[in-house]
Amino acid sequence: MERATWPRMAVLLWMLHVTQAAIPRVAVIGAGISGGSAVHFLRNLLGDEVEIVVYEASDQPGGRTLTRTFANMTIDVGGTAIYSKNKYVSGFAKLFNLPPEDENSTNDVIGIWDGSKIRIELDTDSSWLAGAKALLRYGLSPLRIIPAVRETVKKFDRIYELQDQNRSFSSPTELLMALGLFNLTQVSAYDYFSQLGVGDLFTKELIDGASRCNYNQAGNVNSFTDLISLAGAGVAGHVFGLANGTQDISKGLVKVANRLRLNDRVTEIYDAESGYVVVSNGPAEPRKDHFDGVIVATPLEMAGIKLPAEAQQRAGHGREYQSTYVTFVHGQLNASYFSHDPMKIRKLPAALFTPEDSSSPFVSFSIHKVFADDSVVVKLFSRMELQDFDVKQIFVKVFEIFRWTWKAYPKLQPMSPENWASFRLDKRALLYTSGLETSASAMEVAAIAGRNGALLMKKALASRDEFHQVPLQSEIIGTI
Ligand SMILES: Cc1cc2nc3c(=O)[nH]c(=O)nc-3n(C[C@H](O)[C@H](O)[C@H](O)COP(=O)(O)OP(=O)(O)OC[C@H]3O[C@@H](n4cnc5c(N)ncnc54)[C@H](O)[C@@H]3O)c2cc1C
């Protein structure tokens, strides 16, 4: 190389170094749907002009989307049902070529099971809520909720338009107010439906039943969450599952991160002069790493992350999570347990809702598959662990059992606004997604919160006076 080219090389290297240093680094904590959505949308917004590092405490991405194999079939242990009008989650499934579940071998009947008998069976095939059977039992109540559900879905859908216009929100309450939905979070479903003139029987059987099935909680949850969960029940669209499970969505979303650190639990985030230091328990050793911005995409109640004092103040107060015990059983059902004709066991409703006063050990029951030998795979949710004794009553033969316990969703009762977490945990670039879950807990809600995190992050990074002019590697404290 000629001597004269040296200074030019040095200038080029220096320029490369400055360009490198100018690329902001963002940490996303949690590789569930909200973290994945934040990664996906941040990459869309900033292209290669951002370095994204995902920390995940577990050994794989997914969080509450968890897919397993059981009885030679795919089962979703957490988030399962996708509502057809949910643009993000159904869009991600299409983007990653994830096929929907085949029409399954089960019927479309819901039964209300009180622990000793099935009170009513309703075929959910067509507009069942407005059908003669429902009207005969519940009077006009079902007709009263339909317009309310449609109105809520219409308002909720505006979020897509707003986020497409790059509108971001500082807090969940601001987001819900912009959609005209916040007031619904401040009143319980019981009170809301009673104001609509919905009768007691309908509330106790179907509102409670659906609410218990979706959130393992009664209809004293906030009315917003119940209204949007009823949308999929044939009122405005339909729900579907994925043939290979929902966890593939989370896995697909985080692929566009620069680095995915599995088995790496974040224990602390603290302020640094030009950003944040993220402290974590890596698989081999504890480490500290520097970032310009951080998106916390996991409920802080369970995350065990120490935050700066100001951020802790903005992280919400008093939210608890509902424990949910999920039990999958492959076996042969005991028809007499359900007071059902053993010859017609295939006609047992594929979904059983239970009222709050039910004596049933499970809160919901759904048949996922019926095999040629009439054995079935059933998914049961309960508030306490289902004992072998309970399982043996429900099934005459048990071939296989799978159990999982979740801190599944927040207790979704109305919570006054001052206790809600913010999306912005400080005035800089420490952001949070899981505050939106105080209103409703679903994969789509997580995806919306993730996109909001990405939009806020873009703004926060742009408003910084300057990125630190030091090489990336020398800023890193510890190992990558
Ligand atoms: C049993 C059950 C059934 C459900 N059914 C449905 C349904 O049918 N339809 C629907 O739409 N929704 C459903 N949901 C809700 C839905 O699954 C969740 O709302 C959604 O998946 C939450 O995503 P998230 O990314 O916000 O949180 P999570 O999925 O909880 O992701 C958080 C991630 O952060 C990680 N993490 C936690 N702490 C740390 C730390 N300190 N450092 C690093 N990583 C950390 C966790 O390991 C986890 O992977 C269900 C949930 C459950 C539990």
Residue 113 pLDDT: 95
pLDDT at residue 480 is higher than 80: no
pLDDT for res 21: 52
* 8 Å CB contact between 63 and 450: no
Over range 453-463, report the average pLDDT: 96
Distance 63 CA to ligand 1 centre (A): 4
Residue 7, pLDDT above cutoff 70: no
70, pLDDT greater than 90: yes
- Of the three residues 390, 410, 430, the one that is the final residue of a domain is 410
Tell me, yes or no, whether 348 lies in a domain.
yes
Residues 196 and 329 in one domain: yes
What CATH number is given to the structural domain containing 371?
Answer: 3.90.660
Residue 403 main-chain phi, psi, to 5 deg: -125, 145
Give the whole-angstrom CA distance, residue 480 versus residue 317. Answer: 34
CB-ligand 1 contact for 79 (6 Å cutoff): yes
pLDDT value, residue 230: 86
Q: In the predicted model, what is the mean pLDDT of residues 272-277?
A: 93
Residue 442 phi/psi, 5-degree rounding, is -160, 160
CA distance 133 to 150: 22
Q: Is the pLDDT of residue 374 over 80?
A: yes
Whether 3 maps to a domain, the answer reads no
8 belongs to a structural domain: no
297 contacts 421 by C-beta, under 8 angstroms = no
Q: Is 249 in the pocket of ligand 1 (CB under 6 A)?
A: no
d(CA 296, ligand 1 centre) in Å = 13
- Protein residue with least CA distance to atom 48, ligand 1: 63
Q: Which of 101, 366, 443 to mutate to test the pocket of ligand 1 (most atoms within 8 A of CB)?
A: 443
> Is there an atom of ligand 1 within 6 Å of 71 CB?
no
- Which run of H or E residues covers position 396? strand 395-410
User: 187-237 pLDDT, tens per residue?
Assistant: 999 999 999 999 999 999 999 999 999 999 998 999 999 999 888 776 777
Residue with the nearest Cα to atom 13 of ligand 1?
A: 79
What pLDDT was estimated at residue 126?
61
Q: Are 386 and 404 members of one domain?
A: yes
Our answer on whether the CB atom of 197 is closer than 6 Å to any ligand 1 atom is no
The answer on 122 and 202 residing in a single domain is yes
Mean pLDDT of 379-388: 96
Residues 220 and 363 in one domain: yes
Do 237 and 249 belong to one domain?
no
Residues 337 and 447 in one domain: no
Inform me whether the pLDDT recorded for 272 exceeds 90.
yes
63 lines ligand 1 (CB under 6 A): yes
Over range 406-413, report the average pLDDT. 97
Q: What is the pLDDT at residue 14?
A: 42
Listed as own residue / partner, the contacts of 68-74 with beta carbons closer than 8 Å and 24 or more positions apart are 68/245, 68/402, 70/328, 70/330, 70/377, 70/400, 70/402, 71/328, 71/330, 71/369, 71/377, 71/399, 71/400, 73/368, 73/369, 73/377, 74/243, 74/244, 74/245
Query: Domain for residue 81, yes or no?
Result: yes
pLDDT for residue 167 is more than 80: yes
Report CA(384)–ligand 1 centroid distance (Å).
Answer: 20
Q: Is residue 130 situated within a structural domain?
A: yes
Provide DSSP, 80-99.
--EETT-HHHHHHHHHTT-P
Q: Are strands 259-261 and 265-272 parallel, antiparallel or unpaired?
A: unpaired
Residue 179 Cβ inside 6 Å of ligand 1? The answer reads: no
27: part of which helix (H) or strand (E)? strand 25-29
Residue 366 has pLDDT above 70, yes or no: yes
Least confident of 5-9, 177-181, 469-473: 469-473
Shared domain for 276 and 353, answered yes or no, is no
Counted residue by residue, the chain has a size of: 480
**Tens digits of per-residue pLDDT, 247-270?**
999 999 999 999 999 999 999 999
Per DSSP, 312 falls in state H
Mutate to test the pocket of ligand 1, among 37, 39, 64 (most ligand atoms within 8 A of CB): 64
Q: How far is the CA of 33 from the centre of ligand 1 (A)?
A: 7
Residue 441 Cα: closest atom of ligand 1 = 19
Query: Mean pLDDT score of the chain, rounded to an integer?
Result: 90
266 lines ligand 1 (CB under 6 A): yes
Answer whether 454's CB lies under 8 Å from 46's CB: no
Say how many Å lie between the CA of residue 356 and the centre of ligand 1. 26
Q: Give percent of the chain above pLDDT 90.
A: 79
Is the CB of 252 inside a 6 Å radius of any atom of ligand 1?
Answer: no
Confidence (pTM): 0.92
CATH of residue 455 = 3.50.50.60
Q: How many CB atoms lie within 10 A of CB 286?
A: 11
Q: Say how many domains are in the chain.
A: 2
Q: Are residues 400 and 344 in the same domain?
A: yes
Structure tokens at 314: 């903005």
Q: What does DSSP assign to residue 38?
A: H
Relative to the CA of 37, which ligand 1 atom is closest?
25
Q: Is residue 64 in contact with ligand 1, taking CB distance under 6 Å?
A: yes
Task: Name the percent of the chain lying above pLDDT 70.
Answer: 90
- At 285, the pLDDT band (50, 70, 90 cuts) reads confident
Residues 200, 99: one domain?
yes
C-alpha of residue 97 to centroid of ligand 1, in Å? 22
Residue 467 has pLDDT above 80, yes or no: no
Picking from 375, 390, 410, the residue at the C-terminal end of a domain is 410
Please indicate, yes or no, if residue 172 is contained in any of the structural domains: no
Ligand 1 neighbourhood includes 111 CB (under 6 angstroms):
no
State CA 5 to chain mean position distance: 56
**Angle 443-462/87-95 helices, nearest 10 degrees?**
90
CA 160/CA 84 separation, integer angstroms: 14
Q: Which is nearest to 315 in space by CA: 290, 294, 292, 288?
A: 294
Q: How far is the CA of 39 from the centre of ligand 1 (A)?
A: 16
Instruction: Identify the band that residue 276 occupies on the pLDDT scale cut at 50, 70 and 90.
Output: very high
202 within some domain: yes
Residue 89 to residue 435: CA distance in whole angstroms: 19
| Same structural domain, 149 and 292 | no
Tell me how far the alpha carbon of residue 394 lies from the centroid of ligand 1, in angstroms.
Answer: 29
Kindly give the distance from the C-alpha atom of residue 54 to the centroid of ligand 1, in angstroms, as a whole number. 15
Q: Which tokens hold the place of 137?
A: 């039992």
- Asked whether 408 lines ligand 1 (CB < 6 A), one says yes
Asked if the structure places residue 5 within a domain, the reply is no
Give the residues across from 280 on adjacent strands.
Answer: 266, 287
Cα gap 363→115, rounded to integer Å: 10
DSSP secondary structure code for residue 190 in this structure: H
Question: What is the average pLDDT across 100-128?
Answer: 85
The domain in which residue 389 lies consists of 69-167+179-244+320-410
Task: Determine the pLDDT at residue 3.
Answer: 43
pLDDT score at 104: 66
Render 431-457 in DSSP notation, one character per residue.
Answer: EESGGGGGT--SHHHHHHHHHHHHHHH
**What confidence tier does 472 reach under pLDDT thresholds 50, 70, 90?**
very low
Angle at 101 between CA 100 and CA 104, to 5 degrees: 150
Kindly state whether residues 458 and 371 are assigned to the same domain: no
Residue 463: band (very low, low, confident or very high) from pLDDT cuts 50, 70, 90: confident
Structure tokens at 303: 């995350």
Residue in the structure block whose two tokens are 């963002």 = 26
Q: Are residues 220 and 328 in the same domain?
A: yes
pLDDT of residue 83: 92
Q: Which of 386, 410, 434 is the last residue of a domain?
A: 410
Distance (Å, rounded) from C-alpha 324 to C-alpha 330? 20
* Mean pLDDT value of segment 36-50: 98
Residues 304-361 have pLDDT tens digits of 999 999 999 999 999 999 999 999 999 999 999 998 777 778 889 999 999 999 999 9
Q: Within 13 A of 385's CA, how many CA atoms are on the CB side?
A: 8
